[in-house]
Structure formats: structure tokens, C-alpha cells
Amino acid sequence: MAIDVTAGERRGDGEAHRAPRSDAVRNRARILEAAWGLLSAREDLDLSMEEVARAADVGKGTLYRHYPTKEGLLQALVYDGAERIISTMQERIPPEADALTKLRTVVALCYDAYETNRISIDLLLRTWRHAERCASDRHDPDHPMTLTIARVRSILEQGVREGVFRPLDLDYTAAVVFSLISPVAFAKQRERLGYSRAALEERVVDLMTHALRNESIIDSR
């Protein structure tokens, strides 16, 4: 799994304003990659710091300097995942694209990331809820939910400006859209409905576009 080597610099290690040395960046990346690998192979969060250090091939002292607690490490993993999704959106969605294209691409990229991680529903639920409990401020601009919802909100705002989407309460609608495409929703929908990823993506995009579209534009055609 590719790891964003900057992940965790703001979370869980107490080094929010320091520029890390190159070896520290490499060690942090190895730790996160090892933790992801260990968690992906099990059904719970019963992860010891010692086994993470062994899997990352770093000393326990190095691990604890970056992440003094297991809680800090788990939170860093969630932020790492969110940052990689946001980074992919920035790379893959052209600024000049229309709002509908951007919204469809957001859904596809999120689902790509969820499938790549291949983490069980129970693990996904526990990790995400853990991040929510640990966050001191849900409105922190670095919180995973805030990052993703802000991106969705900007797309909705563009769609309203373009006349493709009807007038919306942007904050509420962005939160609702996120609830449909969040990692927890994706895992639960696939588990309960048994849909393929392609079928689920098609239904979610169809539901959102019909709920958001500007009926007056359609009626005038």
C-alpha cells in the first residue's frame, strides 16, 4: 500500500510545527505501512506496538517517539487514508471539469481507495469511530470528515452556480452526500446488499444526480 510520507506530522506525534528529518519521514512511513498491513490481515484493532515495530523494522523507541500511544497511531492511520484520498482527488479531477463530472469522479475515487484497502467492515467501523472519538474538534480542517465534506461542498456550490443543481443548503447537502459515499457506508452497503462495486457506484451516482438536479433546467429542454 502506498503511504503518504507526510501523514502523521500533524497527528499523534506531537511534532505539529517541526520539519521532520528525512530519516524520521521514512520511519514514519514504514510504521504506517506496517500498521496498515497488520490491520488488513485481522478482524479487530488488537494491535500491539511491539508487533508494529517489528513489522516496520524499527526500534520500539523510534515507534514511541512518533506515536507515544496506540490511540495516536490509529488516529494517524485514519488521517493518512483521508489525506491520500484528498490528494488523489486533487490530482485526478481537473479544475475545469463540470460539477457532475467532478461528483461522479469523487465517488469513483473514494470507492477505488476503499477497495484498495480491503479492510473488513468491523475494522473499518471501529477505526473510523475511533478517529471521531479522538478528534478534539470535528471542525478541525485536518479532520478526515472535514476534508472530504469540504471537497464535496465546493463541487455542490459549483453545480448550483452552473445551474445544474437546484438551490441547496450546501452544508447540509455536503454532509448527506458524504454519508452516502463514506467508507463505512460503502462497506455496509456492499455487505448487506451484495452489490458489486460497479453496481453500487451506478446506483449511488444515479440517486445523487436525481436528488440534486435542477428540475427547471430539465423542464425547459
Is the pLDDT score of 123 beyond 80? no
Q: How many CA atoms lie within 13 A of 21 on its CB side?
A: 4
Joined grid coordinates for residue 140: 478541525
Cell of 48: 500491539
DSSP states of 150-194: HHHHHHHHHHHHHTSBPP--HHHHHHHHHHHHSHHHHHHHHHHH-
pLDDT at 104 over 80: yes
- Give the model's pLDDT for residue 23: 85
| Amino acid 145: pLDDT | 73
Q: What is the mean pLDDT of residues 8-21?
A: 49
Mean pLDDT of 20-38: 86
Q: pLDDT grade, residue 79 (50/70/90)?
A: confident
Highest mean pLDDT, choosing among 11-20, 80-89, 127-136, 152-161: 152-161
Q: 53 pLDDT band (50/70/90 cuts)? A: very high
In the predicted model, what is the mean pLDDT of residues 96-122?
83
Q: Where are the alpha helices (DSSP H) in the chain?
A: 22-40, 49-56, 60-66, 70-92, 99-117, 121-134, 144-162, 170-181, 183-193, 197-212, 215-219
State residue 72's pLDDT score.
84
**Given a cut of 90, is residue 41 above it in pLDDT?**
no
Q: Could you tell me the pTM of the whole model?
A: 0.71
Cα gap 109→204, rounded to integer Å: 13
* Nine cell digits for residue 203: 446506483
- Distance (Å) of CA 169 to CA 107, 162, 175: 20, 16, 10
How does the average pLDDT of the chain come out, rounded? 80
Least confident residue range of 7-11, 120-124, 193-197: 7-11
Query: What domains are defined for the chain?
Result: 1-69 (1.10.10.60), 93-219 (1.10.357.10)
